[in-house]
Amino acid sequence: MTGLLTTAAALPPAPDVDLGELAAQRLARLRSVLAAAPYDAVVLTEPESVLYATGYRSMPGQVFRTHRIAAVVTGDDLWLVCPAADAPAAAAAGIAVDRLVPFGRFYVEAGTGAAVPGDHHDIAAMADRNPDLTAALRSVLGALPAGARVAQEDATPLVAQARSRKLPAEVAMLRYAARLSEAAVEAAVAAAAPGVTERELAAAIAGTMVAGGGDPRFVVATTGERSALADVVPTDRRWQPGETARFDVGCVVGGYWSDIGRTAVLGEPDERQLAVYAAVYAGEQAQLDLARPGVTAAELFRAGLDGTGAHVPRYRRQHCGHGIGLSIYEPPVIAPDVDATLEPGMTFCFETPYYELGWGGMMIEDTVVVTEDGTEMLCSGRRELLVVPA
């Protein structure tokens, strides 16, 4: 099925977003929240929050679970505390060299013909400046004015407050990431035929994401009975006529995540497939109809659960969606005991999937932004059951 991998996909138009300007806007929002809080500085240690404040997206931070990085933000200053190996890339990304505080050992040389030899020599001398993150962070905090009140990210909702309501450019990035993922699934399904493997479907999806400037992060493409397995890697199993295929896929564009779900049937769907798909559709639609500022996450959960459960006996879910942004799961999660209320600018994934071992699984998952009086769909709005000729 090599033709599946080379099928040209209709990519959505890329957003006109200057990521450097967006980073400056995010930092300004964070500082506005900080100014209203009883703190003079905040220490950020979650990689996504560091990206939010500094604009620096660490490649090692995406690869190594033990990677450590931090940012210190005040009303008028910003430091990036990072491994020495990150320092050259952080400087290239626009972080002022005198505000880079490295730790650990990594060697890089300064070229003799460097356009900015001072900066290059400073970066080349960053190895062994501090033994670890704790020591490097201590040096930054020691430079703050005496008596400065410092908030730790994991001890205050300050950062979550700043990140939860998205800026217009953030919404544009999330819209593009979602629609790119949609286009990737649609391209794979459009080129599919009986006998295509899960791996081939996944490769077509990932290839489309890359062609559109996205970094594929997870591609669940399961067929037949395997479509009931929520989060698994694709295999060489071949898609057969009459079977369901369930897609749960996500990529990252400029640091912003997508997480969308789609369902397809190879050949005409039978009555059970139509009924179950109608159920999960009804559940997500109930959430879309209810969502608006002031509604709680728990109320949205109940709407999704009841909307699906009215058509599927004994329908159970632990959650029916989650916030999304620079992290794939951002608070609040749409769960039964979460009383957080929706506010304009919040972005969510709504989902009401159904998994039945021995039969299969179906889902729809879409990204929305909360508006002043409801929601705006960031996906294309094409939510029908996909049917592939057998």
Domain that holds residue 172: 168-388
Q: Is the Cβ–Cβ distance between 362 and 353 less than 8 Å?
A: yes
Q: What is the CATH number of the domain that holds 93?
A: 3.40.350.10
Spatial separation of the C-alpha atoms in residues 163 and 75, rounded to whole Å:
17
Asked if pLDDT for residue 9 goes beyond 80, the answer is no
What is the pLDDT, as a whole number, of residue 204?
Answer: 96
**Domain-located, residue 156:** yes
Query: So what's the pLDDT on residue 4?
Result: 53
111 and 201 inside one domain: no
* Alpha carbons 372 and 109: distance in angstroms, whole number: 53
Radius of gyration in angstroms for the set of CA atoms belonging to the chain, rounded to a whole number: 23
In this structure, are 102 and 203 located in the same domain? Answer: no
Task: With CA atoms as reference, report the closest residue to 127 among 83, 84, 68, 80.
Answer: 84
- The tens digit of pLDDT for each residue in 206-251 reads 999 999 999 999 999 999 999 999 999 999 999 999 999 999 999 9
Would residue 220 count as lying in a domain?
A: yes
Shared domain check, 205 and 144: no
pLDDT per residue as tens digits for the range 369-381: 999 999 999 999 9
Do 138 and 178 have their domain in common? no
Residues 148 and 176 in one domain: no
- Residue 213's domain is classified under what CATH number? 3.90.230.10
Tell me how far apart the alpha carbons of residues 88 and 95 are, in angstroms, rounded to a whole number: 10
Residue closest to 163 by CA, chosen among 47, 16, 331, 21: 331
Task: Determine contact, residues 106/85, Cβ cutoff 8 Å.
Answer: yes
Q: Are residues 255 and 377 in the same domain?
A: yes
Query: Domain check: are 128 and 255 in the same one?
Result: no
Same domain, 345 and 206: yes
Sheet holding 100-103, edge to edge: 100-103, 78-83, 70-74, 41-44, 150-152
271 lies in the same domain as 238: yes
Is position 6 within any domain? no
Q: What is the number of domains present in the chain?
A: 2
Q: Is residue 339 part of a domain?
A: yes
pTM of the model: 0.94
Does position 2 have pLDDT exceeding 50, yes or no? no
252 plus 347 within the same structural domain: yes
Tokens (6 digits) for 204? 């077509």
User: Would you say residue 10 lies in a domain?
Assistant: no
In a domain, 192, yes or no: yes
Of 99-103, 156-160, 172-176, 261-265, the poorest mean pLDDT is in 156-160
Rounded to 5°, the CA angle 185-63-120 comes to 120
178 and 127 inside one domain: no
Which residue in 304, 311, 263 sits closest to 284, CA to CA?
Answer: 304
Residue 6 has pLDDT above 60, yes or no: no
Q: Residue 32 CA to chain centroid, in angstroms?
A: 24
Q: Strands 260-266 and 386-388, how do they pair?
A: parallel
Residues 346 and 288 grouped into a single domain: yes
Distance CA 144, CA 135 (A): 15
Q: Which two tokens stand for residue 247?
A: 């897609």
